[in-house]
Amino acid sequence: MRVRLEDGQVADSVDVSQPVAIEMQFEVLEPGLVLVPTFQFFNRQGTCLFVSDNPRFSLRPCGVGRYTSTCWIPGNLLAEGTVLATAVITAPESSLVHIYEHQAVAFEVTDNASHLLNPNYVGPYPGIVRPLLDWTTDMATLPEGSAVYALE
């Protein structure tokens, strides 16, 4: 397994704003197997961040050969810290686990430009993920004498 950046470079550290690829290579030695490559992502404390599999790959039996499965994690999804990835390959019809590589690769997510998310905030963002979400804020004028702050 390995961690790659968009330019193909293998890395052990990625900036929070950049997409990152996790790759696993495996060999199929018997034809006709239906397999599901899966990654499980955890933080250093052992909390599961999320799980992702490739359901399109499992729609057809595999031929004999070497395969590379790549999972792209978008930029601005992961929070700062260490991410540990476990690789799993299962047979969907029986849930038989063919491969289970616990914490097969680890990488560090760093925040080199947190000021881009909110230029008025200084400090770490809490949470196990830190997505950059689309927001809108609309304003309507209020009648005179309204409360200074009100949350609906």
78-129 pLDDT tens trace: 999 999 999 999 988 778 899 999 999 999 999 876 545 566 666 677 888 8
15-24 pLDDT tens trace: 998 999 999 9
Q: DSSP letter string over 14-43?
A: EETTS-EEEEEEEEE-STT---EEEEEEEE
Architecture of domain 2-116: Distorted Sandwich (2.70)
At 57 the pLDDT is 79
Domain boundaries, the chain: 2-116
At 122 the pLDDT is 62
CB 42 within 8 A of CB 109: no
CB 34 within 8 A of CB 60: yes
Confidence of residue 151 (pLDDT cuts 50, 70, 90): low
Query: What is the DSSP pairing of strand 96-110 with strand 13-15?
Result: parallel
Q: How many CB atoms lie within 10 A of CB 108?
A: 13
Global pTM value: 0.83
